[in-house]
Structure 1
Amino acid sequence: MITDAPRTPATTTLMRSETLEAPARVAEMIARNAAAFAELGGRLRAEAPDVVVTCARGSSDHAATFGKYLIETMVGVPVASAAPSVVSLFEASVTTRRALCIAISQSGRSPDLLATVAAHADAGAHVAALVNDEGSPLAECADTLLPLCAGPERSVAATKSCIAAMAGLAGLVAAWSGDARLAAAVETLPEALAQAVRQDWSAAIEPLSGVTQMFVLGRGYGFGVAQECALKLKETCAIQAEPFSAAEVRHGPMAIVRNGFPLLALATSDAAGADVVKAAGEFEARGAAVLLARAGGPSLLPAAAAHPAIEPILFLASFYGLAEQLARRRGLDPDEPPFLSKVTRTL
């Protein structure tokens, strides 16, 4: 059984203590939503939607990217990310009669997200909301409420809520697809996370202590996590980190990689991860400073093997520890990045 992490010393940042809570919070989320996953999964198998529309911003949108790859590879239904400004700024209508709208949010209170969800609901979409605040307007308007159960998150840098959102999407897709192997991986995810949050990625601190720009590479299930890692490097460490697919980076972006240019590469144990390893090797041969996390394989940053769809969540749990340490090394407070607030009410 996973229990809450012991109280940490007063000098520990909120970001670190909340990351350490993730295993217990995910265990609670899985137990709390078991019936809802089964009910919605059965509904979707009986009457599959023509399209899934995700509605989210920031870290929640990165979780949605992770969900896109899960749904498209395991169920075969195309997934599109809604642009909230289509409704909130342009006041355009949408037509989504045979659609599933998945809304993801920590607060469930951003006006543009709520307007977009309402537009899809009015057009006939079934709304499933993965939301942390169960008293929020988003929770109240959902046809299927899937609470993240992350508890209060006080650090501006979201950690446990993003991990819970990705775990929730994995649970939903396991129920929808009927994939027994993924379902088993979701059940054991809390135990795997308990190890991942303690993985030592400090070998990357010195190489990144003085950088201003870098790339984060992922592919497939790992691409959404690459996006999230890049965001956290921006907001907590003031590094202009840009996420790329290992396929896309070989086009225009690779031209700026010179000797010593830093790359964080996240390689899952499947074919997509093999391509990340290959791309990282190509850049390393050109003199790039590659920091590789390879699930179950030799790498600078240790990462355990699991189901390939679960490994990115474990990468993220380990990365958050690195980002917190790196921010402090660079003299920054990861809990209160400048100019940012916890709840963003975008119009």
Structure 2
Amino acid sequence: MSSLMLKETLETASVLKSQWNKNTQNRTEICEAWKKFNPYSFLTIARGSSDHAAQYFNYLVGLKLGKLTTSFTPSLISIHKSLIDASQTVSIGVSQSGRSPDLVQSFSYFKQKNFETLAMVNVEESPLAQHAKYVYPLYAGEEKSVAATKSFIASLFASASLIAKLSNDTNLLHSLENHHSTMVTSTDNSWIKIVEALKSTQKAMIVGRGLGLSIALEAALKLKETCHIQAEAFSSAEILHGPQAVIEEQYPLIIFALRGPSQKSLFDLAAQMKQRGANVVVISDHKDDLTDCLYSPSLHSDLDALNAIHQFYIAVNDLAKVKGLNPDSPRSLSKVTLTL
């Protein structure tokens, strides 16, 4: 029987097309306002999968705008009541539900101070949206599965849409407009290697770099949520600063080797870890002696992360079923998480 997780993952292409079209005027107005505001930096505030999407937003800001970014810790306001100065900053709240008290309290404080804020949310009438100066709806529709899929990818897409518009990147804008056509599932059965590598393990390491780090973090979370695997995500650079010490023979290592300047270093790491005897699975856009799983490349390399995690979600759904688990109802979790 098909799961909600799989059903919602397969809805992603239509979600992205709808989001792009429905936000056309909104996107233009927001970016024109930000150009006039000319922020010194950007701040993101989010939890869980949304925080992984914020990681992608932050990296794009650095790549396209050359501006500093901060991943904000909401407890500074919700618990410690710190007097934060974000007056020269655009603050972005990313959330599927827009209901978590720590995010809402932070945006309430920002609103009182008249700071520049935007809520990137799936629920337009949410408390987070009500405290934001601007709202950028994800238009993902209702997401019933506890494990976020289409709303996460919609958050990546929204991030790229705003930054492409703000930076006047015409190539990226064109690719975004047509991106839904590239969201296709693999037909070569190569992704079964994810299931084979992880079906009998309780631990794994997920690796990415650059724009791929956000989906490595997200992939690790999904393995925890749906498959009860203690998966940890790292940048390929960080692995060499300590975590590689735990990698022994047959240790499961999933590497997202996306297109871009860091791809070669990720392949180099894969070769090094295979020599060590680790059980390495490389996810890439092209066939190679080291590549195990192929994702469908996007029209622009900055968007490859969306397609790679889309295919990974399908593999994780299959893995959960093989392990006898229900991916729609992870142990001890609920759809809306409320934290202070």
Q: Distance in 2 between matches of 1:37 and 1:252?
A: 42
Question: Structure 1 residues 254 and 232, CA, compared in 2 at 3 Å: closer, same or farther?
Answer: same
Q: Distance in 1 between matches of 2:307 and 2:211?
A: 12
Structure 2 match to 1:305: 297
Structure 2 match to 1:8: none
Is 1:326 matched with 2:319? Answer: yes
Q: TM-score, length-normalised on structure 1?
A: 0.94
Higher mean C-alpha deviation, range 66-75 or range 302-311:
302-311
Is 1:149 matched with 2:139? Answer: yes
Q: Distance in 2 between matches of 1:122 and 1:340?
A: 33
| CA deviation profile, 1:211-255 (whole Å, cap 9, x unmatched) | 111110000000001000000000100111100001111110001
Q: Distance in 2 between matches of 1:94 and 1:143?
A: 18
| CA deviation profile, 1:103-129 (whole Å, cap 9, x unmatched) | 110101110010112222333321111
Letter in 1 for 2:311: S
Moved over 3 A (4+): 196-200
- SS of structure 2 residue aligned to 1:304: coil
1:51 deviates by 1.3
Is 1:53 matched with 2:53? Answer: no
Q: 1:1-347 to 2 correspondence within 5 Å?
A: 11-193=1-183, 195-196=184-185, 200=189, 201-298=191-288, 299-306=291-298, 307-347=300-340
Does structure 1 conserve the Cα–Cα contact (< 8 Å) formed by 2:257 and 2:283? yes
Question: Structure 1 residues 199 and 143, CA, compared in 2 at 3 Å: closer, same or farther?
Answer: farther
Letter in 2 for 1:318: Q
Q: Distance in 2 between matches of 1:337 and 1:304?
A: 28
Question: Structure 1 residues 168 and 196, CA, compared in 2 at 3 Å: closer, same or farther?
Answer: farther
- SS of structure 1 residue aligned to 2:58: helix
Structure 2 residue runs without a partner (length 5+)? none
Structure 1 residue runs without a partner (length 5+)? 1-10
Letter in 2 for 1:32: K
Q: Distance in 2 between matches of 1:137 and 1:163?
A: 22
Q: Distance in 2 between matches of 1:134 and 1:216?
A: 33
Letter in 1 for 2:229: I
Does structure 2 conserve the Cα–Cα contact (< 8 Å) formed by 1:261 and 1:288? yes
Does structure 2 conserve the Cα–Cα contact (< 8 Å) formed by 1:20 and 1:197? no
Q: TM-score, length-normalised on structure 2?
A: 0.96
Letter in 1 for 2:74: P
| CA deviation profile, 1:81-123 (whole Å, cap 9, x unmatched) | 1101111111111101111011110101110010112222333
Letter in 2 for 1:112: D
